[in-house]
């Protein structure tokens, strides 16, 4: 029996590349689709690659016709909060517009199982609220707003065209492949753990804490971190959910435990055994005080059981990858 193919948009990116590895292990053939504006060719090593832009309908039609995927896993997106505030047009065009083209191409090809990478940024600033799938979405930046719009889009096309979807709203993704084959690398880097590790290794002078006057125990923002490998395990379960004919569903992915910026810095120092040079700066626009998952739906319905999402383990995996060096264009 021929392997079934899954089209992975953003397959050269951080989460997409880890998902390709997990799909390969699960017996699928992942086909990475990426324009490599932010993704890495070096990260595509678990199946074929198709270079192209999601806004190019003809290119998408060609790829769907060639591979005839049974499902799409959609990770490709612009994801920098600060940039989305300064240049919202990039997010409405690059996230929402491009996804509309992708959805139309998938439907035209008869590929109706769609797994979507959303975000807790759709909730916005809701201090003191336990965030779950039913929490009101009130994004405070164009990144979160674009992801919420895509969620609405998928629901509309489920009615008009029978598009089946699972939506994953996740919190802060961290860690790296325990085998050290792939890891987290962004240009520019905006994620806390790799920034801290850069400061430890001397790749940057210091880690800047943006805001020390938040209403939290130590004055810094609190986030819920989940290991990238645990995250992609949930996506495979979400794919199986659809293929078993189960209904469209939204799942939040987080551990339910939040860590402040200072706590992450302290953990990195503990794991690496090295001091972390720190500077303090003003708050960044668009940063929520606290984002922590309060949902157990993924655990109870998908049977998701995150195995590597302890903070020290995520940092240790990331540090192992970090020491081997970053990808190169």
264, exposed or middle or buried, with CB in 10 Å at 0-12, 13-18, 19+? Answer: buried
Instruction: Retrieve residue 203's tokens.
Output: 């790749």
DSSP secondary structure code for residue 309 in this structure: -
Token pair belonging to 36: 């490599």
Give residue for tokens 């193919």: 5
**Which residue is catalytic, options 143, 170, 214, 225?**
143
Say how many residues make up the chain. Answer: 329
Q: Is 143 labeled as catalytic in the residue annotation? A: yes
Residue 191 CA, distance from chain mean position: 12
Whether the Cβ atoms of residue 238 and residue 186 lie closer than 8 Å to each other: no
* Residue 12: count of CB within 10 angstroms of its CB: 29
- What single-letter DSSP state applies at residue 176? -
Residue with tokens 């769609």: 114
Which residues belong to the active site? 143
């Amino acid at each position: 029996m021929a392997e079934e193919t899954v089209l992975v948009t953003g397959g050269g990116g951080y989460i997409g590349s880890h998902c390709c590895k997990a799909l390969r292990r699960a017996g699928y053939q992942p086909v990475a689709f990426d324009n490599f504006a932010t993704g890495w060719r070096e990260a595509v090593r678990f199946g074929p690659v198709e270079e192209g832009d999601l806004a190019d309908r003809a290119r998408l039609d060609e790829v769907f016709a060639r591979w005839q995927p049974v499902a799409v896993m959609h990770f490709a997106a612009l994801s920098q909060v600060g940039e989305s505030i300064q240049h919202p047009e990039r997010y409405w065009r690059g996230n929402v517009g491009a996804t509309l083209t992708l959805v139309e191409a998938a439907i035209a090809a008869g590929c109706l199982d769609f797994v979507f990478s959303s975000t807790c940024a759709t909730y916005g600033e809701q201090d003191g609220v336990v965030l779950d799938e039913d929490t009101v979405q009130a994004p405070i930046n164009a990144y979160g707003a674009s992801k919420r719009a895509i969620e609405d889009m998928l629901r509309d096309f489920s009615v008009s065209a029978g598009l089946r979807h699972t939506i994953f709203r996740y919190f802060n993704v961290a860690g790296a492949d325990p085998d050290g084959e792939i890891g987290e690398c962004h240009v520019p880097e905006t994620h806390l753990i790799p920034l801290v590790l850069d400061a430890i290794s001397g790749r940057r002078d210091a880690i800047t804490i943006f805001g020390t006057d938040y209403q939290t125990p130590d004055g810094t923002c609190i986030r819920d971190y989940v290991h990238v490998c645990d995250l992609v395990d949930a996506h495979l379960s979400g794919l199986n959910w659809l293929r078993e004919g189960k209904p469209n569903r939204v799942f939040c992915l987080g551990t339910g435990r939040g860590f402040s910026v200072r706590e992450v810095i302290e953990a990195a120092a503990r794991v690496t055994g090295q001091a972390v040079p720190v500077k303090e700066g003003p708050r960044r626009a668009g940063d929520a005080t606290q984002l922590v998952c309060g949902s157990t739906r993924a655990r109870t319905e998908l049977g998701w059981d995150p195995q590597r999402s302890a903070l020290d383990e995520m940092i240790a995996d990331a540090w192992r990858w970090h020491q081997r060096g970053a990808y190169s264009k």
